[in-house]
Every structure is written in structure tokens, then in C-alpha cells.
């Protein structure tokens, strides 16, 4: 099984203990074990308000800001950094950000019903940043439609996570910005969609998840792909 939990990160060695594994632990510590410029693509959904003691304020983006320089360090030159981000906090995405803005991709969610200042939001924003001058692998579009049903994957059923990202959309992103064999990092892997999509598209991956329950969920999803 391509998963791992290790409470003593000092024993972890790159690449054997990282590649094609989901590790349960603090991303801020784990990413420091990755050498410079080893990652071909970073694709993630950062936590809003997540600190060492858990979620304590929606506006707190300390963890995200702290990991950005490390993401820049481990990402290869001329590569992409792609992140989901809340529309509510959009201006904060550009603060303390070492990457250069490239484009925005929208995931339209017909079944979505997230409350917002204007009423109901029915889309997710995915922002593409770059380090250097990378080239898109496969041109596509910047508007996609979510899979049917809230929190449901058609081939898996209900995903017990508050914000699972549909893996069919993750696959579209991977096809656009990575090649087979590329190494993809998701430092906040959540329900594991990035790992599952990478496995299915023959990309290598590294995933970190601090929440033990979500780590176990991601582990189970990845295990099913291996069957």
C-alpha cells in the first residue's frame, strides 16, 4: 500500500519514504525533508484557519503563508504551483506569495450551495501560479463542471470529508500541467483526491495530511486504486 504514517519524521528519508506515499504529519515539518527543486508540480487545497492547535479562525492563513517559501524551494524551475482558494479571502492569496500569477480555472458545481455574502456560491476557484516560465503540457479550457451529487464520486460514492475535490477535475489539471512520471506534491491532501488521480494517470505523488481521520480516508481511497 502506498501510504505511510510516521510520528518521527526525523527517520524519514527522501525519496524512498516520500514518493508515492501519503504521510500523516505536519506539512510544515515534512516538506523540509524534501531537497531543493525535486517537485514537478504542486497542486493543493490549503487549509483556511488551520494552525498547530486546529481551526481557530477562518481568516487565519498562517500555515499557508509559512509553507509558501518551502513550496517555492522544492518546486523545480519553470514549473507550476496550483491552489484552490476561497473567493472570500482572495486578496490574501497574493500576499507573501513568491510565485507569479498565471491564470484562474473555475469548477462549476451545480449541486453546490455554499453561503456567501451575495447569497449562494456554486463554483470553486483554482489559481495557477508559476515559477519561472513553464509551458502548458496540454491546452484545455478554464471552466469545468463538477461530478453529479454533493460530496459524491460516481465510482466511489459518498466521500466523508467537508470539501473533497472531485478527482475527475484533478485529472484535467494534471493533464494540462504535468506529464506521466512527473512528481506531484500536495502538502494538504485532505481526502486524497490528488493521490488517487496521480495513481490513475501514472504520475508519482507525495501527500501530507495532519488530520488522522482524513489521512485514513485518503489511505482507503488510494488502497482501492491499488486493487
The whole-number pLDDT of residue 225 equals 84
What is the pLDDT at residue 155? Answer: 82
Domain assignment of residue 7, yes or no: no
Question: For residue 125, what is its C-alpha cell?
Answer: 476557484
Give me the pLDDT at residue 204, please. Answer: 98
Residue 1 lies in a domain: no
Would you state the pLDDT for residue 4? 57
Report pLDDT for 152: 80
Residue 30 inside a domain? The answer is: yes
pLDDT at residue number 52? 42
103 inside domain: yes
Classify residue 6: in a domain, yes or no. Answer: no
Range of the domain at 45: 12-226
Which residues in the chain come in under a pLDDT of 70?
A: 1-7, 48-59, 150, 226-227
Are 128 and 100 in contact by the 8 Å Cβ rule? The answer is: no
pLDDT tens for each residue of 177-211: 999 999 999 999 999 999 999 999 999 999 999 99
Q: Give CA–CA dist 207/194, Å, rounded.
A: 8
Q: Output the pLDDT for position 159.
A: 83
193 is a domain residue: yes
The set of cell numbers assigned to 143 is 471552466
- Within a domain: 143: yes
Q: Is the pTM of this model over 0.75?
A: yes
- Contacts of 134-139 with C-beta under 8 Å, sequence gap 24+, read 134/78, 134/79, 134/80, 134/177, 135/78, 136/176, 136/177, 137/175, 137/176, 137/177, 137/178, 137/179, 138/175, 138/176, 139/176
Domains identified in the chain, total number? 1
Q: Judge whether 71 lies within some domain.
A: yes
Amino acid at each position: 500500500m502506498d501510504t505511510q504514517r510516521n510520528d518521527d519524521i526525523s527517520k524519514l528519508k527522501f525519496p524512498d519514504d516520500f514518493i508515492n506515499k501519503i504521510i500523516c504529519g505536519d506539512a510544515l515539518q515534512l516538506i523540509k525533508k524534501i531537497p531543493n527543486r525535486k517537485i514537478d508540480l504542486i497542486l493543493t487545497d490549503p487549509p483556511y484557519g488551520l494552525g498547530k492547535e486546529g481551526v481557530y479562525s477562518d481568516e487565519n492563513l498562517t500555515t499557508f503563508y509559512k509553507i509558501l517559501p518551502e513550496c517555492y524551494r522544492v518546486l523545480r524551475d519553470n514549473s507550476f504551483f496550483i491552489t484552490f482558494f476561497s473567493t472570500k479571502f482572495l486578496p490574501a492569496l497574493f500576499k507573501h506569495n513568491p510565485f507569479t500569477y498565471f491564470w484562474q480555472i473555475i469548477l462549476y458545481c451545480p449541486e453546490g450551495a455554499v453561503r456567501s455574502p451575495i447569497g449562494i456560491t456554486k463554483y470553486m476557484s483554482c489559481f495557477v501560479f508559476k515559477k519561472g516560465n513553464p509551458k502548458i503540457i496540454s491546452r484545455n479550457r478554464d471552466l469545468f463542471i463538477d461530478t453529479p451529487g454533493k460530496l459524491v464520486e460516481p465510482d466511489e460514492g459518498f466521500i466523508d470529508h467537508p470539501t473533497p475535490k472531485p478527482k475527475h477535475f484533478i485529472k484535467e489539471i494534471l493533464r494540462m500541467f504535468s506529464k506521466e512520471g512527473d512528481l506531484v506534491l500536495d502538502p494538504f491532501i485532505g481526502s486524497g483526491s490528488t493521490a488517487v488521480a496521480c495513481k490513475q494517470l501514472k504520475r508519482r505523488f507525495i501527500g501530507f495530511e495532519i488530520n488522522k481521520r482524513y489521512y485514513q480516508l485518503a489511505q482507503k481511497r488510494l488502497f482501492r486504486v491499488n486493487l
